[in-house]
Amino acid sequence: MRTVFWEDNQVKMIDQRVLPARFEVVAYSDHKSVARAITDMVVRGAPAIGATAAFGLALAGFESASTSTGDLLADLRAAASTLKASRPTAVNLAWAVDRVMNKVSSLQSPSADSLRQFILDEAQRIADEDVEINKRMAEHGAALINDGDTIIHHCNTGALAAVDWGTALGVIRTAHEQGKKIHVLVDETRPRLQGARLTAWELQQYGIPFEIISDNTAGYFLKAGKAQKCFVGSDRTAANGDVANKIGTYMLALAAKDNDVPFYPVVPTSTIDLSLSHGDQIPIEERDPEEVLGLEFKGERVTPKNAKARNIAFDVTPNRLITAIVTENGIAYPPYEKSLRRLVLGE
């Protein structure tokens, strides 16, 4: 099933906070609850967040009691601001909301009811397109994987991080389905453990061999020659190829570069922000310190009472550490300023 979908006039999504212990689908009937679900990481992953926000905007249209188009548009603009503020780093969120609102603005004198239906239809198009985009990326990326490769993967980039199929993990899944014998080393991805909880669970569903490793073990496997590729996702990619991704990606890229191991982000073009010339311009989310302090070992809290923590959610990997960037339109190689622009704009 899809990670996020519209059913019974509600936005429904797999609750990623409770996997792998339980598989639950939750439903939301107002856009503010959808925004909180994004903030609280009920749903996560840049492509999934974008589709969720678009569906949240559709909910806002049906929530509004406005009968005039002008009043409805005012309600939609307010809802768009709420949704876009739910998480700052993933550009797909703002991209999806802006895409819907820009298309709404181009309509010629729609009625309020037709406008509501248009928004829902556009949100569904975004979701459907995401699945097709992921499958195209997967075909391009799978060509980079050789039979017998061991691959280090960070965070979760599978179907759970998208509407379906996934980005970097979608590439790995496709290589597996092509018959390539591969093995995946799954970074735990602290502090929320998206690798240990979500990526491992997905790999089990696909029947792909894997082992979970602590984040600080990746360097050992790279130096020992026991990993041949690294695949990661991206929440926002700047015009020069700098990639913002889950915290720990930068350290993995450094270790890969030092050991001449190819490092590949898998990035839908909707995640490439050509308005930013370099990665230092990407806003970086800092989350509740309790996500770090609340970790437990054998049922006991690991941190001292009254300890403080910093919880930076993303880091930026500079383009000099990146071998190539996989998109649905092909693979970008340095210089990224030219190759990414060509793949995004067709120039």
The catalytic residue positions are 235
- Report the distance separating Cα 157 and Cα 16, nearest Å: 13
What Cα–Cα distance (Å) separates residue 107 from each residue in 22, 72, 116, 128?
A: 43, 14, 12, 22
145 in Cβ contact with 175 (< 8 Å):
yes
The two three-digit tokens of residue 209, written as one number: 């061999």
4 in Cβ contact with 163 (< 8 Å):
yes
Other Cβ atoms within 10 Å of 316 Cβ, number:
21
| Residues contacting residue 322 through CB under 8 Å, at least 6 positions apart | 241, 243, 253, 263, 264, 265, 336
- Report the distance separating Cα 163 and Cα 53, nearest Å: 12
- Report the distance separating Cα 176 and Cα 156, nearest Å: 17
Local structure of residue 199 (DSSP, 8 states): I
